[in-house]
Amino acid sequence: MAQNIKGARQFQDVFGEVIPFNATVDPAAFADDESQVVSVTVTGAAVGDFVLVSPGVDMQEGLISATVISANTVEIVIGHVGGDSTDLASSTWYGVVLKKGGAFGNL
C-alpha cells in the first residue's frame, strides 16, 4: 500500500542516507540499438537501494538506467536507440545512491 508523505521532510522520511558518487565514463562507439555496461564502486551501496545518475554529455538518442547489482557496485547501462551510430565523449557522470529510510517500514 502506498503512503503519501507530505511536508518539507518528505524525502528525509523516505531515504535514510544519500551516498553521492561520480565516475569518468568513456563508452566505445555505439551502433544502432546497442548497449554498454559501466560498473562503478560505491561504498555503502546495497542491493535494493535506489540509484539516480546524470550523464555529463548529450545522450544523442540514448537511454540510461542504474542499479545496485551487488554490495558496493552500481551498474550503469547505456543504450543507444537512434538510427545512426554515435560516439559519446568521455565525461564525468554524477549519481546518488538513496538508501531506504523509516517510511518504507510503514508500507
Could you tell me where the DSSP H helices lie in the chain? Answer: 10-14
- Tens of pLDDT, residue by residue over 32-43, are 888 999 999 999
Residue with the three cell numbers 551502433: 31
The closest of 17, 92, 14, 89 to 53, measured between CA atoms, is 92
- Tens of pLDDT, residue by residue over 40-87, are 999 999 999 999 999 999 888 889 999 999 999 999 999 888 778 888
Residue of higher predicted confidence among 12 and 50: 50
pLDDT at position 28: 86
For the whole model, what pTM was predicted? 0.83
